[in-house]
Every structure is written in structure tokens, then in C-alpha cells.
Structure 1
Amino acid sequence: MGLFLKIKKYVQGTYNVLLPLLILLFVFRPFKHSDVYPGIWKLLLTAALLFAIFDSHHKKMTKIAASILAFPALIFSWLILFYQTKEVEFGLAFFSSLFLLVCTASIIYDVVLRAKVTAETLRGVVCAYFLVAILFAYIFTVVEFFMPGTIAINNQPVITISEVHFFSQMLYFSFTTLLTIGFGDVVAMRDLGQTITVIEGIIGQFYIAILVARIVSVYSLHVDQEMIKRIEKDLKKGS
């Protein structure tokens, strides 16, 4: 019982497990074309989606909404390995986008608007950053579904590549856009795709700026409060 409580405390709302899972999702993104490798990556994705719900500080209604959206997202995520149809691809991208939007917004609210300068907060900040990138990767996938030819890889349309390989490229494209270090090998060709790309770049820049300002202000407030307490304590001793 004691071990269970320790494990629960370690994973519940601390981002201890979610952060390494998100890092692994990108580092080992499914760029290989074997049948086994995408399945292993899907296991990581499944774990990341579940811990995005249970290893974060969500309100009750947010957790319920995320759980409802996670169910079809996970179903389509595994179904795509066996039935690579356009309908399954769209279902995966659509429900994953909604799920990530809910979870990411909730985590950003937790770590930025209610920020405290702790290791947990810093882990949550990084988790939110990774989730934003993954969210936009799915958004680009949805846009490509409705507007084929929106994304070009090495100046070639992406119609001929598999869903797994395409999403791997979208992860890469999304992270380089968020970090504003795009290399031009993956580009948005149409107006909507270009607009979304710019929006993601703006979010990446403002996220860092707002986050740093918020953490500095919270830290300064904490230092001021500690100083006031010490002064009051010294005054009481003097009197």
C-alpha cells in the first residue's frame, strides 16, 4: 500500500512521467518503414496520451473531456496500423488534435497562470511546449487531408508516403516552426497552411517571452514576501 501511494504521488500531477515520454516521442519518431517500429512508437504515444490526462493538474471537467477525446484518438491510432484509409487517418488527426488542445490549454493554465517556481512547474512548462508542437503536427495533418498539396517535402507532394512517415515529417516540421529554425525542406505551400505555420511560430516566440516574464515576476514576488516575513520577524524580536 505504501509503495502504491508513493507511485501515485510520483506520477499524479508532477509531470515526472509525461515529460520523458514526450521527449522519447520526438527522438524516436517513426521515421523507419518497418512494421514493428511504428507499433512500438504507438505504445509510447498511447502512454503519453494517458499520462497527459493523469500526470497533470486538470480540473475535473477537463479530465473528463480529455478522457472522452482520448478514447477515439487511441482507437484510430492503433487502427491506422492495419487500415490505412483516409477516413482512419482523418479520425486519428481530428480527435488527437482536439484531445491535445484540451490538455495543452489546461497545462498552460496550470504552469503559467498559476505558476510557482518549482521543479514541477518547469517540467510542466516543457511538457506544454512539446504538446503544442505535437498538436500542430496533427493540425497540419488535418489541413493536408482537406487540402492535398498544402505540405511539400523536398519540393515533392506528400500523397505517395505513408501516414506514419508523413506524421513523422509533420512532427519535425512543427518543432522547427515552433523554434523558428525551419530549413526549407518541409514547407507549407497554400495560404491556410502558411497561416497556421506563422501562427505556430508566433506562439513559439510569445510562449517563451510570456513564460520568462511570468516566472521572473512570480519569483520576485516570492522573494519580496520572504523578505517582508524576515523583517517582521526581526521587528518582533526587537520589540
Structure 2
Amino acid sequence: MPTVSPRIATAVGTTNKRFHWLLTALLLQLVAAPFLAGATAAIIQDLLFLGILLAALRVAGQSRLHRVNCVLAGLCACAILVKYATGQLSVDIIGDFLGAMVILLTTVEVSQYLSRQRRVDLDTVLGGLCVYLFMGALWFLLYSLIERINPGGFDFTVHGHDLLGNKRDSLLFFFSYVTLLTTGYGDIVPLSPVARTLAVLEGIAGQFYMVFFMARLVGLHVAEKER
């Protein structure tokens, strides 16, 4: 009966669980965001976001890009702490910008890792789903930056006006993923040219990614069958 080298078996086991914690953190934020309210909502959201950053750094490789990502993640964590100590809007903006950069670089790293795979397994599928969820998180931070820098970039229609920061962020989070899925309920409307442009780009990116990723999975599966 053939045996598997312990070294190979360990490597395969580790690889198969590469994206488990990252996907768990992303799904936890996605599910918890609509139910968070009150004074502790912002704190919980930031803790979930820091958890995502930590999980993201675990899946990245030891490249120069990864080292830059670690520095940005550390600066983002510091900005979040300073935000609660000072309450300044500028610090909040810097934190969102750094968070967006970390998510963008992590998305690039995960995409590079997936592009090197030559077979379809659970690890590949979970990694692709993480990239898709990262796209929604990235655009949410961009929408949040727009609304903080230039208030009034979005009309929240039935949700009311002059919303508090936590409620506004929760709605923008919802809007980002609805736009990514191209569902478009119409309860949140981008008004400024920058907001409209970002919404269009997110819809295009979401549809293109799904088509590209599914085509890649099918191609790898067919190639594996032929081998």
C-alpha cells in the first residue's frame, strides 16, 4: 500500500486550511454588521476589522509586498487606537485609507497565489471567495472615505438624513455588497460624481471577477481531468 511522506502530508494539510480563518473573519463581519447598534457598535466593528487584517497577514507570503502590508496594518491599528483617544476626523480618514491599502495589497497577494495553483481544491475555492468579499470591503472603505471627506455624496432616502457615523457606515457597508452583486435596491443613491463612478466600477469588477474566477475553476478542473 503506498504511503505519503509526513512532510508532504503536513504541507498539504496546512495548505488546505490557508484561508479558513480569513474567510471566517470576513463572513463574521458580513453577518454581524447589520445587527450592530449602540455605543459599542463602532468598537466591535473595529475589532472585527482588526481581526480581518490579522487573518489577512497570515495568508500572505513572505514577499516584499507582504512586509509593506505588515507595516501598513500596524499603522492602521495605531490610527484606530488614536481615533478613540482623540476623536479627530482626520485620524479616522487616515485609518480608513490605511485599511483600504492593506485590503488592496492582500487582495493582490491572494490573487497572485491563486493564479499559481494548478488544481481545483477547497483551498482554491475559499481563496477565491475571500478575494470577492475583500472587494466589497475595499469599496466600503472607499465609500466611507468619500462620505467623510465630502458629506452628502450619498442620499440614504428612506433611511433618513443626518445619520450618525455608525448607522451611516452600516448602510454604506450594505450598499457596497449590494452594488458588488449588482442587486441595486435603490434605497441608497450615490449623488457625487466620484461616488457614482466608484459604484459603476464596483459593479463591473464584481461581474468580471465572477466570470473570470468561474472560468478559471472550470479550466483547471478540465486540465486536471485530462492529466
TM-score normalized by the length of structure 2: 0.85
CA RMSD of aligned residues (A): 2.4
| 8 Å contact kept, 1:10–1:16 | no
Would you say 1:90 and 2:65 are equivalent positions? no
Task: Say which of 63, 67, 81 aligns to 1:64.
Answer: 67
> Which range is displaced more, 13-22 or 127-136?
13-22
Alignment-derived partner of residue 200 in structure 1: 202
The Cα shift of 1:93 comes to 1.2
Task: Say which of 10, 20, 23 aligns to 1:19.
Answer: 23
Structure 1: gaps spanning 5 or more residues? 1-5, 226-239
Give the share of equivalent positions with the same residue, in percent: 24
| 8 Å contact kept, 1:84–1:163 | no
Q: Aligned to 2:20, what secondary structure does the other structure show?
A: coil
Alignment-derived partner of residue 139 in structure 1: 142
| 8 Å contact kept, 2:117–2:124 | no
Alignment-derived partner of residue 126 in structure 1: 129
Residues 164-207 of structure 1, C-alpha deviations (whole Å, 9 max, x = no match): 33222221011000000111111211111111100000011010
- 1:160-175 residue pairs with structure 2 within 5 A? 160-175=162-177
| 8 Å contact kept, 2:33–2:45 | yes
Would you say 1:29 and 2:27 are equivalent positions? no
The Cα shift of 1:80 comes to 3.5
Number of equivalent positions:
216
Residues 29-88 of structure 1, C-alpha deviations (whole Å, 9 max, x = no match): 16543223432332222111111011x243421211110110121222344445433212
Would you say 1:51 and 2:55 are equivalent positions? yes
Distance 1:106 1:157, change over 3 A: farther
Distance 1:123 1:167, change over 3 A: same
Alignment-derived partner of residue 187 in structure 1: 189
User: Which one-letter code corresponds to 2:198 in the other structure?
Assistant: I
Determine the C-alpha separation between the residues in 2 that align with 1:35 and 1:95.
24
Alignment-derived partner of residue 228 in structure 1: none
Computing the radius of gyration from Cα coordinates, the structure with the larger value is 1
| 8 Å contact kept, 1:30–1:41 | no
> Which range is displaced more, 68-77 or 27-36?
27-36
The Cα shift of 1:123 comes to 0.7
Task: Say which of 52, 60, 73 aligns to 2:76.
Answer: 73
Distance 1:24 1:193, change over 3 A: same
Distance 1:165 1:156, change over 3 A: closer
The Cα shift of 1:113 comes to 5.3
Distance 1:114 1:43, change over 3 A: same
Alignment-derived partner of residue 231 in structure 1: none
Distance 1:90 1:37, change over 3 A: closer
Alignment-derived partner of residue 6 in structure 2: none
Distance 1:69 1:12, change over 3 A: farther
